[in-house]
Structure 1
């Protein structure tokens, strides 16, 4: 909830009425513009903080008597949502606004957040988690986040210029093709392989409803007018999957990059017995070439920090980190005694 009163913005914090303060619009604009300048000096593809706030659906959380603030939102997922495979039923997402990358300000802000939010969030989000988004080059924040119980979770990486090179020619019986309704069962099988692998490293949950959720998502993707799924087949056997959201379908993640209309790779995987043979490299090169031909020059994707295969693969494919996402599970913010 957000109320505008004269030249002030009143933003109540989720926990209780005593947990918010009135922030004057000039003060908030100064903080946003200062953060935007700092972000842009780190990486020219980082967006303006004001854009993240507006397009990301964030509210201000301003701590009384403290210099910093948080962009903050909570979200609840239904058990049948595709996102429920990767996220808890209830989540809190934060982006810190601190001056000049100050560990002391961030530490102070997180101490206040735990005291103000912890008790109620612990009850409301008992099976949830808090996620902190920081520019990947904000390494000064790492010790503070560790001290407060946050652990590295995922990276949002970006490839900004694809070029118009043709995809590598298939060889050894490898064929890369757009998925159609005839491929639906193969797509679901490959997607389940991706989920099974990621669940080993704790990045998602492979539950009783996973198969049904993936089935529904697959048919929705195949019904799009624009091609969304590509498959790799080796001598007629499906071995690889790449799912791409074109700009019309990725408004949420687009707020985190300074460009118009990025594409987003939402799923990618190679069958376990076919990894390490160059199939993934050729599949993603094919998709890159098709996106470039259609005029999409910026691509985003998330990969798990704990996945030992992700970072080197995407780096070789010319992606670089843009944002680091840190996770704090609800039991940690309820019971941890920060020092």
Structure 2
């Protein structure tokens, strides 16, 4: 381990006890500046793919190991990255992203100064059963294959909302992609809880359990062990502000809980006017924040 990597490991441990030790830099184009080292990975999602509903078609992903003066190091690295962007193809439908510990406000300042904005937060909650919460006339139950159409409609409504306040993109064929994802999830045992009122579906939440495995999206993000997660939470516009989302998450937390669980996690858009307040009230707090800027904006 280099001294800079060791300093970052110690710094992460001091910032937040739930941050796992930072892994080595992933493969990508190397970039160095101001005592900082990084790699830039280039990702392109195929046309018509599921990923394009939640991301631009092209991504440049910066990973970094920063010196003791982390803010200055990130600023220098971002300036070097900007020079790379200026020489590259800045195609539309693309984005440059950095994922960094949420509590590192020194680095957050550098990211803001370079025009990046918070796009996504990975938030965690201590392991606990859900506090019972009911809404008069509303029943929460496990979904069945007969709920496919209603679940798809709710997920499409959530995608449309997210397209205004976050990273969702309503592309041609989006509803069919969502329906296939819901069908696959139900077939392979994914958990979906439904809220019903007088026989009408008014809300849903997805969930399950995962363990960080080397090479997957959670590696380097969460400590080892079993984690519960909540995915899409959606309540119809007419039924919001009545506690239905709280009732759904209470049931999900209760059914996901086990003595061996390390905790539960969710992802939400920090700029969404509903999500951050809701999830914080359910006991979640941000651990990682993904920051993003379009290449065109980065060159202004």
Instruction: Assess, with a 3 A threshold, how the Cα gap between structure 1 residues 117 and 331 changes in structure 2: closer, same or farther.
Output: closer
Alignment partner of 1:168 out of 114, 132, 143? 132
- Provide runs of 4+ in structure 1 moved above 3 Å: 57-60, 248-251, 293-297
Equivalent residues of 2:135, 2:244 under 8 A apart:
no
**Matched residue SS, 2:257:** helix
Does 2:267 align with 1:302? yes
Segments of 5+ residues of structure 2 without an aligned counterpart are none
Judging by fraction of residues, say which structure has more helix: 1
Instruction: From the CA coordinates, give the structure whose radius of gyration is larger.
Output: 1
TM-score normalised per structure 1: 0.81
Greater shift, 322-331 or 294-303, is seen at: 294-303
Displacement of 1:176: 1.2
Residues 233 and 297 (structure 1), Cα distance of their counterparts in 2 relative to 1, 3 Å cut:
farther
5 Å matches for 1:31-180?
31-50=4-23, 53=25, 57-59=26-28, 61-63=30-32, 66-122=34-90, 125-162=91-128, 164=129, 168=132, 170-180=134-144
- How far 1:84 moved relative to its partner? 1.1
1:207 to 160, 171, 195: 171
Aligned match of 1:232 in 186, 195, 209? 195
Question: Deviation of residue 266 (structure 1)?
Answer: 2.4
CA RMSD of aligned residues (A): 2.3
- Please point out which of 202, 210, 214 is paired with 1:247: 210
1:220 is aligned to 184
Residues of 2 paired with 1:97 and 1:169: CA distance? 44
More off after superposition, 91-100 vs 240-249: 240-249
TM-score normalized with structure 2 length: 0.90
Q: Using a 3 Å threshold, how does the CA distance of structure 1 residues 89 and 246 change in structure 2: closer, same or farther? A: same
CA separation in 2, counterparts of 1:249 and 1:173?
A: 39
Give secondary structure in 1 for the equivalent of 2:277.
Answer: helix
Structure-2 separation of matches of 1:134 and 1:268 = 25
In structure 2, the CA distance between the partners of 1:105 and 1:255, relative to structure 1 (3 Å rule), is closer
Q: What is the aligned counterpart of 2:230 among 255, 265, 287?
A: 265
Give the 3-state SS of the residue equivalent to 1:50 in structure 2.
Answer: coil
3-state SS in 2 of match to 1:204: coil
Residue 116 of structure 1: how far off its partner (Å)? 2.9
Kindly state the Cα deviation for residue 69 of structure 1 after the two structures are TM-superposed. 1.2
Alignment gaps of 5+ in structure 1: 1-25
Distance across 1 between alignment mates of 2:250 and 2:282: 8
CA shift digits 1:115-142 (9 cap, x unpaired): 13442252xx542101111111111123
Distance 1:192 1:312 in 2: 22
